[in-house]
């Protein structure tokens, strides 16, 4: 436990039990917690009017508004999503 305390953000996952979303709770003195659930295939329209299937990984970010601005939190989520979508990271 000593090695896992004193951080400022936590990453948690409920994907192993099949959840699709949840609201993680921030544990003081941390200021944020990023929740990840199970990746799933979702249909999306393409330019030709057809459907393509994409793997989506739902993310949930809870944060302390006294410390983190909402716009900064949204940019953080967008950054994480872009990094996860960059297939070059997994080569």
Could you give the CA distance from residue 86 to residue 71 in angstroms, rounded to a whole number? 23
Q: In what order do the strands lie in the sheet with 59-63?
A: 9-13, 32-36, 59-63
Q: Of the listed 65, 70, 82, 83, which one is catalytic?
A: 65
Cα-Cα-Cα-Cα dihedral sign, residues 84, 86, 88, 91: positive
Yes or no: say if 40 and 55 are a contact pair by the CB < 8 Å rule: yes
16 is catalytic: no
Enumerate the active-site residues. Answer: 65
């Amino acid at each position: 436990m000593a090695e896992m305390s004193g951080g400022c953000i936590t990453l948690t996952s409920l994907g192993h039990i099949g959840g699709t979303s949840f609201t993680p709770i921030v544990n003081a003195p941390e200021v944020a917690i990023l929740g990840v659930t199970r990746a799933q295939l979702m249909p999306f329209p393409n330019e030709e009017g057809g459907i393509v299937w994409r793997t989506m990984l739902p993310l949930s970010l809870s944060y302390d508004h006294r410390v983190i601005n909402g716009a900064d939190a949204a940019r953080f989520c967008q950054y994480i999503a872009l990094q996860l979508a960059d297939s070059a990271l997994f080569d």
